[in-house]
Structure 1
Amino acid sequence: MMDRLPRHARAVIFTADDFGLHERVNAAVERAHREGVLDCASLMVAAPAAADAVARARRTPGLRVGLHLVLADGAAMLPRAQIPALVDAHGRFGDNMVRDGVRFFFLPHVRRQLAKEIRAQFEAFAATGLALDHVNTHKHFHLHPTVLALILEIGRDYGLRAMRLPLESGAPLALRPWLALVRARLARAGVAHNDYVVGIAKTGAMDEAAVLDALARLPAQGVGEIYCHPALADEAHEGPITPSMRTYRHADEFGALVSPRVAAALAHAGVRRGGFSDIFFGPAPRPAATGGTQAHAS
């Protein structure tokens, strides 16, 4: 059973998604935690730079790390031979989430393969030895009821205690019933979750101005998650980290996380800070640093 905060409590969690996607992302995450306001990162366990991300997390023990399940527009953990109904010839999920969602719901053999892949990603995270702070999904695919049900069922075996509720102010009317369903199912499962997020409407554009605006508009109570996609600039290679991120302003998002103005605004807000495990369950035991400089507590 989750240890919920008092109803009047205010807290903010800063999360970076796509940890492991690229070494530029990983470096930005490590620096934004050490030098800025970043509390958490969500790890893509099958991504090209996942091993580098894990190494950085191990030497930055104050950084809370969760699992960023990839079931669309990304690499799978299992080989194609085990999940041929889910991935292409290169072992990648497609980006037609409507089509795939229909197949997840109606085709039992697809659901069985989906369950195998979800379990494999949980297993890969467990193999890192990192504490599981939270779980979310690439492109918020856990809004799909089949995906959510499988995550909740399988996650119990791996210590799942907290998940992202992708509910943002101004969410489309068509999505609100699904968001209400997700909230209700998380509550019934005893899984802790934020009350709202900031970052959907401005995906790829959570710069200093956007973050300052979000902090100025914090509700009087509740747990908020501000999430972003930081990466360090690389003048030698100016292309996007992935084709689907061609419009993302990764360097600006990193700049927001290390901005003195953002740090001052956050301090002025007087909200509780930390990862999901800190906010909902109190400080978790932190592993000893395996190298480098020990990070400050979030």
Structure 2
Amino acid sequence: MRSRRLPSLRPDVSRRLILTADDFGHSPAVNEAVLAACREGVLRHASLMVAGDAAEEAARLARSAPPGRLSVGLHLVLCCGRALRDSPLAPGGAFPGSPAACGLRYFLRQDLEPALEAELRAQFERFLSLGLPPSHVDSHANIHVHPVLFPMLLRLAREYGFKRVRLPGGELSAALSYDPRPFASQLGQAFVFAGMEGALGGRPALCPDRTWGLLRSGLMEEGYLLHLLSRLPEGTTEIYFHPTTDRASLPAGRRPTPAHHSRLDFEALTSPRVAQVLRERAIELI
């Protein structure tokens, strides 16, 4: 099933764009980048890690943003981060640092499903307790699209009033035409997530038509964002980023690093050239 047409303020516009910053609440530098990119740039959405070290600060900053300017959703953590509940999922309060290992464990251990749902519920309820209106749901390392987790997520998103769920895909051609390095990694990730969408029977109604950002996670520089905008198809597209104001985050190489917070991402979201291209190409930010 393709996505429902998301609300548009301009019915004549055929290309709508959701720009999202992940890991809101991870650190003060990430929070600073989100608020600055919202006030001074093109960012309109952020995904909050409710167990992050700076989650409460992030919620306060979100409430201080200009009215209607920043929509905040839930960035679930089920790997590579802290848990909210004591359970066998997270020994010592922390999930294992390997998304692949976590995913395999969740697939093989059906006895963990009650604990997984309880942790998901705890994170949904923690988000609502921070006083933010529910917007969208995604996750750290996109682990929410795991075949065991995704059905739970869709059910809970509807139950708690969240309007949109991320399902990455459709980026391979654009990524390879910009920079094919590392080819094997980009190809492998694209096939894994395409296979997950196929296992789900297509794209559920709560998802945009496509979501980009997976294949260059942590390296969403201005040039790549402009490249994506030049290829943006009709419909609703989400592009996600991992911005920070920390200058020490600049990557030494060109290899995408999924857990990386990058000043490159922040500079892309505050680029005057990006804002100009959005206007010239009549792309509506929603």
TM-score, scaled relative to structure 1: 0.79
Counterpart for residue 280 of structure 1? none
Give CA deviations for 1:217-244 in whole Å, capped at 9, x if unaligned: 111x111111111110256x9999xxx9
Alignment coverage as a number of residue pairs: 258
Considering only aligned residues, what root-mean-square deviation do their CA atoms show, in Å? Answer: 2.6
Counterparts of residues 219-238 of structure 1 (less than 5 Å): 219=233, 221-233=234-246
- Is 1:173 equivalent to 2:191 in the alignment? yes
What residue is the counterpart of 2:175 in the other structure?
A: none
Amino acid at match of 1:198: W
C-alpha change, 1:239 and 1:24, in structure 2 (3 Å) is farther
Alignment of 1:1-298 (within 5 A): 4-5=5-6, 9-60=14-65, 61=67, 62-78=69-85, 80=86, 83=87, 85-89=88-92, 91-170=93-172, 172-182=190-200, 184=202, 186-187=204-205, 192-219=206-233, 221-233=234-246, 248=260, 250-274=262-286
Distance 2:145 2:161 in 1: 21
Please tell me the residue identity of whatever aligns with 1:271. I
> How far 1:104 moved relative to its partner?
2.2
Structure-2 change in CA distance of 1:246 and 1:103 (3 Å): closer
Task: Give structure 1 stretches of 5+ with no counterpart.
Answer: 275-298
Distance in structure 1 (CA, Å) of the matches to 2:112 and 2:35: 37
TM-score by length of 2: 0.82
Residue 132 of structure 1 deviates from its aligned partner by 1.1
Q: Can you give the 5+ residue segments of structure 2 that lack an aligned partner in the other structure? A: 173-186
Q: Write the letter of the residue equivalent to 2:227.
A: D
Q: Which amino acid aligns with 2:133?
A: A
Q: Deviations over 1:35-70 (max 9, x none)?
A: 000010000000100011000001114200000000
Which range moves more in the overlay, 253-262 or 8-17? 8-17
State the Cα distance separating 1:246 from its structure 2 match: 9.6
CA contact under 8 A between 1:168 and 1:200: conserved in structure 2?
Answer: no
State the Cα distance separating 1:245 from its structure 2 match: 6.2
Specify whether residues 135 and 99 from structure 1 end up closer, same or farther in structure 2 by C-alpha distance, changes over 3 A only.
same
Please state how far the C-alpha of 1:249 moved relative to its aligned partner. 6.0
Question: What code does the residue aligned with 1:38 have?
Answer: L
Question: What secondary structure sits across from 2:148 in the alignment?
Answer: helix
Q: 1:136 to 1:251 in 2, by over 3 A?
A: same
**Once the 2 structures are TM-superposed, how far is the Cα of residue 3 of structure 1 from its aligned partner?**
5.1
- Going from structure 1 to structure 2, the CA distance change for 1:245 and 1:92 (only over 3 Å counts) comes to farther
**Percent identity over paired residues:** 38
1:57 partner amino acid: A
